[in-house]
Chains A and B, each alone.
Chain A
């Protein structure tokens, strides 16, 4: 299941990443912002993606920013909170 989520997340990240940064160069635990893959404000788009695709309601569960900084953090969040 995690692998399927991973593919969906990576597919989404490809749509918001900076165009000249290869996604393949970022490991699962690398910071997406610090690695330069995404703009820091793109975190909003990740939030919207998780709300839309996995029905995670951040207004209810709150949000620790660290949860969204890496692919593995996002996958952990999905496994814990997706409905």
Chain B
């Protein structure tokens, strides 16, 4: 039985780190030197165990050294999306109360102005003097990582993982999947996402496998994907379906025969696309994976023997017990559709500063995913839809309530409703119906500028409709599907014409 105060053992038996795009490369001794120097810098700045630190950058060598330095000192890393607006960042800073903010040379300088006074800004690219590696101060029950997801109430949710929950995820993956296929892992996903950071990057790298890290979602890199796999003898990469919609069209397949396994997750993978990825990758081991930030990402996938790709097929659990329950919390029979709940030692500790929300999400040790699915006779999970309000834009989960909250305080806004619209590239995108007290172009321009200041670019509504009113039930509830259906009959606003005053 492990004691929660046992050392977490932040080991530095890591693999090599490489940036294929720049040619930069750190071996394990170089990583140790970088971690030591950064830990000494944090100590000089007065960092203490339990302090939280924003990492405003990612997908480069330095982010992994910062992460391990923080963990070694018992502090908490909070990777954030570098494209957040000042308003979004101010809100996160209120929740997180960071001690430091770490930036790189690409970070928007406005970030420093969005932080409360007293938060020191550090440059991750600044040369540092050598230092000795500090003693490992991390404990298993310490918070290690906070990752933000779009909140259903409009308030971002900070998912808190401890060293114990992360270790449980990695241990389960190693047991279920082995390490051999991950010997040379490529990460094209953002490292401020659970999928990209916890599973695609840290799972193999902290187990001594080599990690190749690129800027996220860069189409020019996807166009060269086959060549990059060959050049660096990549054995594994993870992905989201939207990546393949581009890569399959324009990237030549790898020819070197090194690619052994591909994961695809964060959004539904249609069977047709799945088969095409298998053909392109030249391996049958293309696993559709399922997971949420709250479960430490990958918690199930198609790893057990031969399978035929099918819409919604996920597979057996990886280090978790999957439960499918009816609305009355009774267990569904095999084949019967119900709500998917997950029980796992890798479950988050909770949402940062939101105990009530945590109690709603985790009941009796089980996490309510908000997804609908069934377990077949083998215990394999098949997804059949979702109950939670969410727009899945190519793997980026956007809460429509967060979009509503950003828009509703805007000039001349009487009412608003964000909803998912179909998108040929992303699968889904953000649609917006808005009722304005004045319906001229100037009002739309003013509102657009307002929203741009409050929502990161990836969350901006792609299609807008002006409506007379948002239909609500007697209890004030809005049906986003009904609003979407009502808008679907009409063309959206010509934003380009309106915003350019033509």
Are A20 and B425 closer than 8 Å at their CB atoms? Answer: no
Contacts across chains A and B counted by CB atoms under 8 Å: 53
Most chain A beta-carbon neighbours within 10 Å: one of B223, B495, B499 = B223
The listed residue (A14, A17, A19, A41) touching B246 by CB distance below 8 A is A41
Q: Which residues of A contact B249 (CB under 8 A)?
A: 44, 47-48, 58-59
Q: Which residues of A contact B220 (CB under 8 A)?
A: 40, 43, 65
Q: Which residues of A contact B252 (CB under 8 A)?
A: 62
B384 within 8 A of partner (CB): no
The listed residue (A17, A40, A59) touching B219 by CB distance below 8 A is A40
Chain B interface residue count, CB cutoff 8 Å, equals 24
Are B496 and A17 closer than 8 Å at their CB atoms? Answer: yes
- Give B234-263 as 1s and 0s: 1 = Cβ < 8 Å from A's Cβ atoms: 000000001001100111100000000000
Q: Assuming A63-B250, A65-B220, is B245 touching A44 (CB within 8 A)?
A: yes
Looking across the interface, which residue of chain B has its beta carbon closest to that of A48? B249
Are A22 and B500 closer than 8 Å at their CB atoms? Answer: yes
Looking across the interface, which residue of chain A has its beta carbon closest to that of B245? A44
B26 within 8 A of partner (CB): no
Are B217 and A41 closer than 8 Å at their CB atoms? Answer: yes
A11 within 8 A of partner (CB): no
Chain A interface residue count, CB cutoff 8 Å, equals 19
Q: Which residues of A contact B484 (CB under 8 A)?
A: none
A81 within 8 A of partner (CB): no
Q: Which residues of B contact A22 (CB under 8 A)?
A: 500
Name the prevailing secondary structure of the B interface residues: helix
Are A41 and B425 closer than 8 Å at their CB atoms? Answer: yes
Q: Which residues of A contact B60 (CB under 8 A)?
A: none
Within 8 A of A (CB), among B215-230: 217-220, 223-224
Q: Assuming A62-B252, A65-B224, is B217 touching A19 (CB within 8 A)?
A: no
Are A20 and B499 closer than 8 Å at their CB atoms? Answer: yes
Looking across the interface, which residue of chain B has its beta carbon closest to that of A51? B249
Q: Assuming A22-B500, A44-B425, A47-B249, is B495 touching A65 (CB within 8 A)?
A: no
B82 CB, nearest partner CB in chain A, Å: 14
- Give B131-167 as 1s and 0s: 1 = Cβ < 8 Å from A's Cβ atoms: 0000000000000000000000000000000000000
Q: Which residues of B contact A19 (CB under 8 A)?
A: 448, 495-496, 498-500
- Give B478-502 as 1s and 0s: 1 = Cβ < 8 Å from A's Cβ atoms: 0000000000000000011011100
Q: Which residues of A contact B242 (CB under 8 A)?
A: 41
- Give A16-27 as 1s and 0s: 1 = Cβ < 8 Å from B's Cβ atoms: 010110100000
Are A44 and B246 closer than 8 Å at their CB atoms? Answer: yes
Cα distance, A19 to B425, chains bound together (Å): 18
B495 CB, nearest partner CB in chain A, Å: 4
Q: Which residues of A contact B448 (CB under 8 A)?
A: 19-20
Are A45 and B425 closer than 8 Å at their CB atoms? Answer: yes
Within 8 A of A (CB), among B437-489: 448, 452, 457
Are B250 and A47 closer than 8 Å at their CB atoms? Answer: yes
Q: Assuming A44-B245, A47-B249, A58-B249, is B499 touching A63 (CB within 8 A)?
A: no
Ranked nearest first, the 5 interchain pairs of A and B with the lowest CB-CB distance are A19-B495, A65-B220, A20-B499, A19-B496, A43-B219
Question: B: which residues have CB within 8 A of A?
Answer: 217-220, 223-224, 242, 245-246, 249-252, 394, 425-426, 448, 452, 457, 495-496, 498-500
Q: Can you name 12 A-B residue pairings with CB atoms under 8 Å?
A: A14-B496, A20-B499, A40-B220, A41-B217, A43-B223, A44-B219, A44-B250, A45-B425, A58-B249, A58-B250, A63-B250, A63-B251
Question: A: which residues have CB within 8 A of B?
Answer: 14, 17, 19-20, 22, 39-41, 43-45, 47-48, 58-59, 62-65
Known A41-B425, A47-B250; further 20 A-B contacts with Cβ < 8 A:
A14-B496, A17-B496, A19-B496, A19-B499, A20-B448, A39-B457, A40-B218, A41-B217, A41-B219, A41-B394, A43-B219, A43-B246, A44-B219, A44-B250, A58-B250, A59-B249, A62-B252, A63-B251, A64-B223, A65-B219
